[in-house]
A and B are shown apart, each in its own frame.
Chain A
Amino acid sequence: MAGFINRYAVWIGLGVWLLLAVMTLLGPYLIPHDPLAVDMGKRLQTADATHWLGTDHFGRDVLARLVAGAKITLGLTLVAISAALLIGVPLGLLSGYVGGVVDAAVMRVVDALVAFPDFIIAISIAGILGPDVTHVVIAIVLVKWIGYARVVRGTVMTEKGKAYVLAARVAGTPGVKTIFRHLLPQALPEVLVLAALDMGKIILMISALSYLGLGAQPPMPEWGAMLNDAKMMFQTHPVLMIYPGVAIFLVVLGCNLLGDGLRDRLDARGEW
């Protein structure tokens, strides 16, 4: 079983993502319910032919909300990760290649941020900015760029002393070109693996912040916010917590499998 998972990790991960993409794109056509339509007469219904997963405490279709939530969660995650990459990778390249004062300045900031647990920084940033999804994304980006900057800087530091880089420099290649043509491609695989693994963590972080009430605001059907909504009915209607919980679990699992699989494939130094 472990071997199977290892071998097909990438495909399973991609499969989960594909499923989500299909759900996000086709969901609204397949599910004839508005995720925001309140109908108090139909609140807390159990699953039936019309409402496949039942309704929540406002009579809203749970499946429609899960599907709408997929779009929000995935969209936010992609935005957060892209922004973190756009900040972290250039800073890492610059820091590693230029060295000296620039490196010292960037790395001291990184060291300072690394000294605190991610989640605590994210909570305080989101707390200071006030409850809103955009603020959550900002908080996550501010926490997550550090990892990329460090990884890229490390690779650049090792690579820049190697013969091919020296050769390029001796041949008169401009610094910018050296960075993008020679150093970036070396750093990229590791960054992508890290990004794929982070995706799961970011989804968890968005959900956790929304669960704490700092992220998505009602009636936005974000999964973490749905968990928060359902918290009150934890004892009377536990399924309302189980559905978004399982959704988060599956997506994070998919992200981690994808990340693990990518790492195995892209990393030539591996022993298997």
Chain B
Amino acid sequence: MSKNHPALRLGQWTVMISMLFMLLAGCAAQSSGPQASDGQGFGQSSGAGESAEETGAGAKSLTLLFNFAASSLDPASDKKFISIRAGVTETLVKLDEKLGLQPWLATKWEQTDAKTWVFTIRDQVTFHDGSKLDAAAVKASLERGIAQSKSLAAALKVESIQADGQTLIVQTKEPNPVFPSELVYPFAAVINVKAQAAVSDAPVGTGPFAVKAFTPDAEVQLKRYDGYWNGAAKLAEATFKFNSDANARLLALQSEEADIVYHLPYESLSVVQSQPSVKVESVSSLRNHFLIYNMQQPHLQDLRVRQAVDALIDRNSIVQNIMQGHATVAVGPFHPQFSFHPQSEGAVYDPAKAKGLLAMAGWTADSGATGKLTKGGQPLTLKLVTYQGRPELPLIAQLIQAEAAKAGIGIEIQMVENPDEYLAEKTDWDLALYSSLTAPRGDAGYFLNSAYMPEGALTYGKANLPELTRLIEQLNITVDLAKRDELARQAVEVIQTQLPQSFIVHPNMGIGVNQRVINWKPGLEEYYLLTNTMDVK
């Protein structure tokens, strides 16, 4: 054990060196790969094409690769919304390209009094098992969803549901002016609760695709549902795969193993664009990357310190250099496309102003040459928590860290596996770089309620702003859309002056699409990925 023969050692060297050559050869082979397939016209010989041939002559199929994995397909518990994204289930109401509400499984709805909503369920819709969709089926599905999901129960606030033929009458516990928009929530997707198959493995929905096989955390295989109410899908089969590794997704796109790939790394978009068989769709998302201030920390309770950190965030540089231009500078939590986005000016990167604010707050440079700010002998050191799941977040954190260091603020970055758990349980952090959809259903209420109301799910910074709480309470009972927009705008103004968070950028989604995919465009909402109209050449 303690000794090898020299010849053996030489053997090891030979093996190592030859492996090195094999590695290099592998790289060379890979780089010539795409060119070879270009010659044959947009990769007709690709993996996807072959699998289409295997499934029968002329059977069209497609593979979509998504960045999050789901272990269950149950629409009421799967936070990755795979059943709706894969076109298996549908909701009563959907969002259109402009994020307005559109009828889907419901053809129309009206509010008969403050707490009563009447929905007309679309006739001639059938579930994948052939049974007809009526109001009773919708009632059973919604009741199941509400029982399973606390967040759906909290969003809908349902008192009782009555079903009569194709008419669904919902009574809410309190006035819920955004009830139809809450029904867009994928947790409210309609399934046939009487179906035999386990909902977690094969939910029976009304969408264009039925589940053929599901491997948790790996993939869902789908087949066309011929009786789809809105016209059977053009594709005979589709595979919805999951992979959380951005580089693996990129390679799957380049090797044409996947036809549509979600969330490509920003640095790679220029490389992808140079491959003729593939195009990049860079669409603005409803997401916001923002910095949460932990308002429980004494030094961050000082507004001037928060303003100083905000002034040290170089948003333009983040958009240009980190996001490679695939982002929009954020002014407040909501995307500029929304009517409730305020007209106010965005934050300005101004290190000099930051220094002035910190000086006013009593933080002075220490006598040493380090330039570190201190107050009462204590240095200004902040702990910033972020996570790898969105690869640009650690980069933004490092840029903020570097800018803060120049101003004399020490920032320690800590990566955590599960930010939600960490931020909820620990109190030792000062800053958290986080990302969230801020208006996923086209309404400001979701984010305002979850981030600023005491019972919300995103109240990590524990900001207590009575003025803001009052506005949100008022928003929650206001029905008139113009008034709602006005209240939301006022709420954003309060947020922008009090700075419980610094909103940084709205990232674009970089989606790689093989040229053989036609009639498909990614939507802002990130909900409806596989559709009946999409096709392949």
Contact = CB atoms under 8 A, between A and B. Distances in A.
Interface in B1-58: 2-3, 6, 9-10, 13
Interface residues of B, number: 35
B399 A232 contact: no
B356 interface: no
Interface in A174-220: 190, 193-194, 213, 217-219
A236 B272 CA distance: 10
Nearest to B20: A249
B247 A6 contact: no
A256 to B, nearest CB: 10
Interface stretch (B107-115, B365-373, B389-397, B483-491): B389-397
A37 B314 CA distance: 16
A57 interface: yes
Nearest to A231: B247
Contacts of A217: 412-415
Contacts of B415: 131, 213, 217
Interface in B215-251: 246-247, 250
B477 to A, nearest CB: 44
A270 B267 contact: no
A270 B13 CA distance: 21
Give the one of A5, A131, A235 with max B CB within 10 A.
A235
A265 interface: no
B363 to A, nearest CB: 22
Interface string B313-324: 010010001000
Contacts of B271: 235-236
A234 B266 CA distance: 12
B9 A260 contact: yes
B326 to A, nearest CB: 14
Contacts of B397: 218
Nearest to A3: B6
Contact of B321 (A40, A151, A193, A233): A40
A2 B10 contact: yes
A232 B388 contact: no
A232 B317 contact: no
Given A213-B388, A232-B268, A263 B3 contact: yes
A36 interface: yes
A218 B394 contact: yes
Nearest to A9: B9
A218 B398 contact: yes
A2 B268 contact: no
B6 A272 contact: yes
A44 B394 CA distance: 18
Chain A interface mostly: loop
Interface in A1-22: 2, 5-6
A52 interface: no
A43 interface: yes
Interface residues of A, number: 34
Contacts of B399: 38, 40, 58
A58 B413 CA distance: 16
B9 A57 contact: no
A111 interface: no
A236 B3 contact: no
Contact of A232 (B246, B401, B413): B246
A232 B267 contact: yes
A6 B270 CA distance: 48
A232 B398 contact: no
Given A43-B321, A213-B388, A218-B394, A193 B2 contact: yes
Contacts of A194: 2
A190 B271 CA distance: 51
B402 interface: yes
Nearest to B392: A232
Nearest to B272: A235
Nearest to A43: B321
A143 B146 CA distance: 49
B23 to A, nearest CB: 11
B245 to A, nearest CB: 10
Contacts of B325: none
B379 interface: no
Contacts of A193: 2
Contacts of B414: 130-132, 217
Contacts of A2: 6, 10, 13
A269 B91 CA distance: 78
Nearest to B316: A40
A121 B314 CA distance: 41
Contacts of B336: none
Interface in B262-314: 265-268, 270-271, 314
B2 A57 contact: no
B381 to A, nearest CB: 15
Contact of B268 (A43, A151, A219, A235): A235
B6 A236 contact: no
Nearest to A219: B398
Contact of B267 (A213, A219, A236): A236
A235 B270 CA distance: 10
Contact of B402 (A38, A232, A233, A235): A38
A219 B401 contact: yes
Contact of A58 (B246, B398, B416): B398
Nearest to A131: B415
Given A57-B395, A270-B3, A236 B317 contact: no
A193 B266 CA distance: 46
A234 B402 contact: no
A267 B3 contact: yes
B86 to A, nearest CB: 28
Top-5 shortest CB links A-B:
A38-B402, A232-B267, A2-B10, A235-B271, A40-B321
Interface of A: 2, 5-6, 36-38, 40, 43, 57-58, 127, 130-132, 151, 190, 193-194, 213, 217-219, 231-236, 260, 263, 267, 269-270, 272
Interface of B: 2-3, 6, 9-10, 13, 246-247, 250, 265-268, 270-271, 314, 317, 321, 388, 391, 394-395, 397-399, 401-403, 405, 412-417
5 contacts: A217-B414, A218-B394, A218-B401, A235-B271, A236-B268
Given A218-B401, A263-B2, 10 more contacts: A6-B9, A36-B402, A40-B317, A57-B267, A58-B399, A130-B414, A217-B412, A218-B413, A219-B413, A236-B271
